[in-house]
């Protein structure tokens, strides 16, 4: 028996999501094997992860809190990746977004006691602006000077981290600790728990308005990518820059715009995290959301709707990381998922054909109805 | 792996370099090779003729070890062989030069020739290898600089490097997959000379083609394929006629002459005045080109590849900066963004239909709306109306008979002819005032070529101006009302088609006798951008360097 890989001439719509789910399943099996190998009980470990991330309304809410920044940063990456712009800098744009939002209340740029209805939008704008500018840097460098965006975005992450550290250790430090003063209560994004007086079941639920930002952003991005003229241009540029130029599209301008929007989305993630979950700026506000976002975007095949699903999965893994020991397990699972995902792409592009022995002519299952329609024949 | 053929009395094994029997190869939905036999004698050029999709490339890919046959047997020098990879094939002395080259652009000719070889083991002794490569090239009459980087080379030169690669590996059997599809006539002649040198030295050549004339010119024998089957096996070319081969190939008689409307030129649509531009290598490609095209007129540009005609098309369509004046319908368009020029009704059938003319992984719909997504009905404000786009694409598919299962089919899955039809459909549908068509029929089969030609003549009849850039002289002479000959970036002659005679144009295209192109590029270091800012005096018919 021999296996042949043949390029698919027709790719059914259901295939890509199915292969993705399959890849995640295979990753879980491999991870389970490794857990077993080091003496753990994979079934109990997975049960525990499930329990710890989806087991009750309370932990589900915590999972969604972890998923919120991943949705927004994942969208940021998905948008850029669609155009084959490898923005690995969502982490830095996230941090800058958090810093920009913090600046509004910490400099402060607005008088104390500004009501939330004014303050929160201002902080959103500031966060998106800061993240967007951080995204603009690699965008402009790439468009004007042809500098590789992977390196620039990666390096800017470390600059962003140092920038945050400077502010939290220095000017904004709360009594020498590596954190700032807490934000005024008006700056806090409303949580479900805030409505416990109306709906008693909401008591203790930490899900905040940032999740809505994420969902709305996903919807808008879907509209933008799949239905707008700009989205068409991005698809065209992503597939064939030369064809896009030929179609009269100014790639450099699109590139800068996409980078700015991507940065702004990641910046909004940072704002949502400090305003919704942390309520102050501090060192280590991100456990690497911006990097996990790369995997999330890949898992979602750069599609906004699927980014939300993938982000929740990874939010669960991050949350479970606190619960299960050794805590390296979720990180391992993340890595293996990325690995199986990338490998599984082969199954979307090719089909596996099994032949026995390799003797005797193989008659095609479906004879060519119209030979001119097929392209596999070669000439 | 090797086993002596059991029937020595049947097979004159010594005289056959290669023999294949009963090869079958199926792809999903297509039986590309159906019980195909083929043989190749020592020291002969054996042409494999057939339309696109006839199964020629598939057969040769099987022989070159790229595909494994579903059935059949391959014998090299009478011994049965089974190839697991192209490496096995090359070890057996079979080398294939594909239509799409497999060269590393950033490396030199020599490095590409050495790539993948076991020798030299560790240290590259570049000078020595370069000398070897140069000597080998010279012995077969292949003109190529062993130190040049691949990206600096013309397509014809790159092909020579591919041939060199195979010769360096000791290929006794060279398979050329439509080698002339990318070549100018003169380059093709050079290639033929090389092939003859090879066969004189006892090597054998399989020459895949769908051009009748060149098959008769170069091959000793010809095997014709049609829809996966052999329709004529090992026919000596000595007694064969074009008409006979064409019938075997397409199964019907082919029209060569098109009925056309009388020439009724309208106002000037495209005018170039002293246009100069650089090529990708930063060398002058156009040196003061002046020409015009009128409404209802096809102006053919005859030029050997690499003489500036590709750059000419790019300059007119806004894809390449230039010096000088260009106007379309009276509007100055030189150095305007491509989108502006589109807005002036300029359509463009680009030279490279897979990388420039289409986005391979996007759907047929996405490819067809490329020039229309900005305006209603496809555009709906800032959005693309999906339904409108699909029905627009469906209508084009039907009108232009693009064979695609659905409008969602990815462009890369279309055959060459259908992709080209799709591109023409897109460009023609805008009812362009000016169409710049570059190599519109390159690599297409006879039937597809005919339909492309008809589309061009239809546009002309509707009053469109067409600048036709082609390396097929017969195409130029068959379609054009006027012919401009370009040599080294200058228009060296312009004449009505009635006065155009193939021999004279061939001479003009090559700059007369034994002009060495490399000499003409000498002094490239001094030619800075400023030199181009002042356009050279417009070339007058017949004016030349020397």
Query: What is the per-residue DSSP string for B471-527?
Result: S-HHHHHHH-SEEEEEETTEEEEEEEGGG--HHHHHHHHTTSTT--HHHHTTTTTT-
* Smallest Cα distance from B227 to chain A, Å: 8
Higher per-residue pLDDT: A377 or B454: B454
Asked whether the predicted pLDDT for residue A378 surpasses 70, the reply is no
What six digits make up the tokens of B472? 């097929």
- Which of residues 357 through 416 in chain B touch A, CB cutoff 8 A? 357-362, 366, 369-371, 373-374, 379, 382-384, 386, 403-405, 409-410, 412-416
Contact B78, B16 (CB under 8 A): yes
Higher per-residue pLDDT: A49 or B74: B74
Q: Which helix (H) or strand (E) holds A348?
A: helix A328-349
B120-168 pLDDT, tens per residue?
A: 666 767 788 888 899 999 888 888 888 889 988 888 888 899 999 999 9
Minimal-distance CA residue of chain B relative to A357: B70
User: Least CB-CB distance to A376: which of B28, B355, B382?
Assistant: B28
- Which of residues 312 through 331 in chain B touch A, CB cutoff 8 A? 317-319
| CA pair distance B288, B281, nearest whole angstrom | 18
Instruction: Specify the range with the lowest mean pLDDT, choosing from A23-37, A280-294, B43-57.
Output: B43-57
Asked whether the predicted pLDDT for residue B534 surpasses 90, the reply is no
Q: What is the pLDDT confidence band of residue A159, given thresholds at 50, 70 and 90?
A: very high
Please report the DSSP string for B259-301 in residue order. --PPP---SEEEEEEEEEEE-TTSSEEEEEEEEEEETT-EEEE
Q: Is A133 exposed, middle or buried (0-12, 13-18, 19+ CB in 10 A)?
A: middle
Contact B159, B179 (CB under 8 A): yes
What are the C-alpha distances in Å from A297 to residues A74, A110, A267, A293, B518? 5, 36, 17, 6, 51
Tell me how far apart the terminal alpha carbons of chain B are, to the nearest angstrom: 60
CB-CB under 8 Å, A364 with B26 = yes
**Which pLDDT does position A364 carry in this prediction?**
40
Higher per-residue pLDDT: A2 or A53: A53
Hey, how many other C-beta atoms are within 10 angstroms of the C-beta on A42? 17
Closest-CA residue to A116 (of A259, A239, A275): A275
User: Least CB-CB distance to A9: which of B29, B319, B374?
Assistant: B29
B77-110 pLDDT, tens per residue?
A: 888 998 888 888 988 999 999 877 888 988 889 9
CB-CB under 8 Å, B355 with A243 = yes
HSE-CB of B356 using CA atoms within 13 angstroms? 15
Cα angle B467, B470, B475 (rounded to 5 degrees) comes to 95
Q: Which residues of B touch A236 (CB under 8 A)?
A: 359, 362, 366, 370
Instruction: Look at residue A49 and give its three-state secondary structure.
Output: helix
Please report the DSSP string for B388-449 in residue order. HHHHHHHHHHHHTT---S-TTSBGGGS-HHHHHHHHHHHHHHT--SEEEEESTTTT--HHHH
| CA pair distance A154, B158, nearest whole angstrom | 38
Q: What is the pLDDT confidence band of residue A375, given thresholds at 50, 70 and 90?
A: very low
Report the residue of B24, B29, B382 to disrupt the A interface, i.e. the one with the largest count of A CBs within 10 Å.
B29
Higher per-residue pLDDT: A84 or A331: A84
* Smallest Cα distance from B405 to chain A, Å: 7
CB-CB under 8 Å, B29 with A367 = yes
Is the CB of B355 inside 8 Å of chain A's CB atoms?
A: yes
Asked whether the predicted pLDDT for residue A273 surpasses 90, the reply is yes
CB-CB under 8 Å, A361 with B71 = yes
CB-CB under 8 Å, A371 with B58 = no
Section B262-288 average pLDDT: 88
**Which pLDDT does position B511 carry in this prediction?**
63
What six digits make up the tokens of A282? 């501090």
Closest-CA residue to A257 (of A14, A82, A69): A82
| CA pair distance B336, B326, nearest whole angstrom | 10
Asked whether the predicted pLDDT for residue A109 surpasses 50, the reply is yes
Asked whether the predicted pLDDT for residue A186 surpasses 60, the reply is yes
**Which pLDDT does position B545 carry in this prediction?**
38
**Which pLDDT does position A45 carry in this prediction?**
83
A10-57 pLDDT, tens per residue?
A: 677 788 888 888 888 999 899 899 888 888 888 888 888 888 888 888
**Which pLDDT does position A94 carry in this prediction?**
97
| CA pair distance B172, B515, nearest whole angstrom | 33
Per residue in A336-349, is it b (16+ CB within 10 Å) or e — as a string? bbbebbeebeebbe
User: Least CB-CB distance to B24: which of A6, A248, A361?
Assistant: A361
**Which pLDDT does position B284 carry in this prediction?**
84
Contact B390, B365 (CB under 8 A): yes
Angle between helices A289-299 and A304-323 (to 10 degrees): 130
Q: What is the pLDDT confidence band of residue B499, given thresholds at 50, 70 and 90?
A: confident
Contact B47, B222 (CB under 8 A): yes
Is the CB of B104 inside 8 Å of chain A's CB atoms?
A: no
| CA pair distance B160, B173, nearest whole angstrom | 16
Minimal-distance CA residue of chain A relative to B408: A10
Q: Is A370 exposed, middle or buried (0-12, 13-18, 19+ CB in 10 A)?
A: exposed
CB-CB under 8 Å, B445 with A377 = no
Contact B355, A240 (CB under 8 A): yes
Instruction: Specify the range with the lowest mean pLDDT, choosing from A44-53, A63-72, B254-263, B513-522.
Output: B513-522
**Which pLDDT does position B251 carry in this prediction?**
63
**Which pLDDT does position B252 carry in this prediction?**
53
Hey, how many other C-beta atoms are within 10 angstroms of the C-beta on A271? 33
| CA pair distance A238, A83, nearest whole angstrom | 4
Per residue in A220-259, is it b (16+ CB within 10 Å) or e — as a string? ebbebbbbbbbbbbbbbbbbbbbbbbbbbbebeebbbbbb
Q: What is the pLDDT confidence band of residue A367, given thresholds at 50, 70 and 90?
A: very low
CB-CB under 8 Å, B341 with A248 = yes
pTM across the whole model: 0.71
Minimal-distance CA residue of chain B relative to A243: B356
User: Which residues, in sequence order, are CB contacts of B347 under 8 Å at separation 6+?
Assistant: B371, B427, B428, B430, B432, B434, B435, B436
Identify any residues that bridge with A7 across adjacent strands, giving them in sequence order. Answer: A350
CB-CB under 8 Å, B373 with A242 = no
Section B416-440 average pLDDT: 90
HSE-CB of B493 using CA atoms within 13 angstroms? 20
| CA pair distance A131, A125, nearest whole angstrom | 10
**In this predicted complex, what is the ipTM?**
0.79
CB-CB under 8 Å, B52 with A242 = no
| CA pair distance A130, A103, nearest whole angstrom | 10
CB-CB under 8 Å, B414 with A378 = no
Section B382-395 average pLDDT: 92
Q: Which residues of B touch A368 (CB under 8 A)?
A: 29-31
User: Least CB-CB distance to B355: which of A6, A240, A374?
Assistant: A240
Section A50-78 average pLDDT: 92
Instruction: Give percent of chain A with pLDDT exceeding 90.
Output: 55
Report the residue of B378, B383, B417, B447 to disrupt the A interface, i.e. the one with the largest count of A CBs within 10 Å.
B383
């Amino acid at each position: 028996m021999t296996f042949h890989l043949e390029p698919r001439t027709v790719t059914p719509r259901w295939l890509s999501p199915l292969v993705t789910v399959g890849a995640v399943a295979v990753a879980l099996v491999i991870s389970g094997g490794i857990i077993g190998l080091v003496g753990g009980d994979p079934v109990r470990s997975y049960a525990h992860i499930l329990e710890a991330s989806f087991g009750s309304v309370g932990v589900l809410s915590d999972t969604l809190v972890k998923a919120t920044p991943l949705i927004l940063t994942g969208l940021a990456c998905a948008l850029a990746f669609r155009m084959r712009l490898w923005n690995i800098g969502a982490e830095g744009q996230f941090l800058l977004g958090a810093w920009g939002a913090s600046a509004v209340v910490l400099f402060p740029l607005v008088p104390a006691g500004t009501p939330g209805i004014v303050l929160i939008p201002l902080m959103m704008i500031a966060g998106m602006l800061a993240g967007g500018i951080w995204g603009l840097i690699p965008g402009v460098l790439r468009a004007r000077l042809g500098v590789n965006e992977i390196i620039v975005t990666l390096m800017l992450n470390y600059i962003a981290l140092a920038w945050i550290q400077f502010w939290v250790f220095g000017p904004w430090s709360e009594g020498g600790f590596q954190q700032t003063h807490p934000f005024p209560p008006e700056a806090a994004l409303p949580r479900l728990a805030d409505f416990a007086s109306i709906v008693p079941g909401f008591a203790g639920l930490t899900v905040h308005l940032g999740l809505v930002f994420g969902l709305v952003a996903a919807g808008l991005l879907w509209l933008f990518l799949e239905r707008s003229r700009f989205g068409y241009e991005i698809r065209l540029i992503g597939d064939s820059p030369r064809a896009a130029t030929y179609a009269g599209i100014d790639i450099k301008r699109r590139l800068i715009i996409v980078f700015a929007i991507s940065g702004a989305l990641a910046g909004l993630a940072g704002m949502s995290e400090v305003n919704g979950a942390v309520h102050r700026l501090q060192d280590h506000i991100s456990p690497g959301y911006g990097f996990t976002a790369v995997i999330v975007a890949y898992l979602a095949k750069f599609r906004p709707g699927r980014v939300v699903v993938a982000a929740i999965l990874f939010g669960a893994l991050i949350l479970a990381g606190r619960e299960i020991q050794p805590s390296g397990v979720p990180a391992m699972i993340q890595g293996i998922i990325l690995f199986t995902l990338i490998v599984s792409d082969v199954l979307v592009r090719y089909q596996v054909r099994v032949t026995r022995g390799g003797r005797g002519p193989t008659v095609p299952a479906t004879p060519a109805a119209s030979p001119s329609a097929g392209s596999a024949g070669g000439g | 792996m090797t086993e002596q053929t059991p029937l020595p009395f049947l097979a004159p094994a010594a005289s056959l370099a290669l023999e294949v029997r009963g090869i079958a190869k199926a792809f999903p939905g297509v039986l590309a090779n159906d019980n195909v036999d083929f043989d190749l004698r020592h020291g002969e050029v054996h042409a494999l003729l057939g339309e696109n999709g006839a199964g020629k490339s598939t057969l040769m890919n099987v022989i070159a070890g790229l595909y494994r046959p579903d059935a059949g047997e391959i014998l090299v020098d009478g011994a049965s062989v089974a190839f697991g990879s192209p490496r096995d094939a090359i070890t057996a002395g079979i080398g294939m030069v594909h239509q799409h080259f497999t060269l590393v652009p950033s490396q030199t000719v020599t490095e590409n020739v050495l790539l993948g070889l076991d020798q030299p083991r560790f240290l590259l002794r570049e000078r020595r290898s370069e000398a070897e490569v140069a000597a080998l090239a010279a012995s077969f009459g292949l003109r190529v600089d062993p130190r040049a980087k691949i990206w600096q080379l013309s397509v014809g030169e790159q092909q020579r490097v591919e041939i060199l690669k195979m010769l360096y590996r000791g290929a006794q059997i060279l398979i050329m997959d439509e080698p002339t599809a990318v070549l100018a006539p003169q380059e093709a002649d050079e290639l033929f000379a090389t092939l003859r040198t090879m066969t004189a030295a006892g090597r054998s050549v399989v020459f895949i083609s769908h051009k009748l004339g060149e098959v008769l010119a170069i091959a000793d024998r010809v095997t014709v394929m049609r829809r996966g089957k052999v329709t004529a096996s090992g026919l000596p070319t000595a007694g064969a006629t074009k008409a006979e081969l064409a019938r075997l190939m397409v199964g019907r008689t082919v029209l060569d002459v098109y009925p056309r409307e009388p020439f009724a030129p309208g106002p000037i649509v495209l005018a170039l005045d002293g246009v100069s531009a650089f090529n990708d290598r930063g060398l002058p490609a156009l040196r003061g080109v002046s020409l015009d095209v009128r409404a209802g007129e096809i102006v053919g540009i005859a030029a050997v590849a690499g003489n500036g005609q590709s750059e000419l098309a790019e300059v007119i369509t806004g894809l390449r900066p230039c010096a000088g004046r260009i106007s379309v319908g009276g509007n100055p368009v030189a150095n305007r963004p491509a989108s502006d020029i589109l807005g002036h009704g300029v359509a463009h059938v680009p030279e490279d239909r897979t990388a420039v003319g289409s986005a391979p992984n996007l759907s047929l719909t996405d490819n067809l709306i490329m020039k229309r997504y900005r305006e209603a009905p496809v555009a709906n404000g800032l959005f693309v109306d999906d339904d409108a786009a699909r029905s627009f694409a469906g209508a084009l598919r039907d009108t232009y008979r693009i064979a695609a299962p659905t409008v969602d089919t990815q462009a890369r899955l279309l055959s060459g002819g259908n992709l080209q039809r799709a591109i023409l459909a897109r460009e023609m549908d805008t009812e362009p005032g000016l169409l710049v068509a570059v190599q519109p029929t390159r690599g297409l089969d006879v039937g597809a070529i005919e339909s492309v030609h008809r589309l061009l003549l239809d546009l002309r009849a509707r009053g469109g101006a067409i600048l036709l850039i082609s390396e097929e002289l017969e195409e130029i002479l068959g379609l054009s009302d006027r012919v401009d000959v370009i040599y080294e970036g200058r228009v060296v002659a312009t004449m009505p088609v009635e006065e155009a005679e193939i021999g004279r144009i061939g001479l003009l295209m090559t700059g007369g006798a034994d002009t060495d192109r490399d000499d003409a590029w000498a002094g490239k270091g001094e030619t800075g951008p400023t030199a181009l800012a002042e356009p050279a005096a417009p070339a007058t018919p017949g004016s030349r360097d020397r």
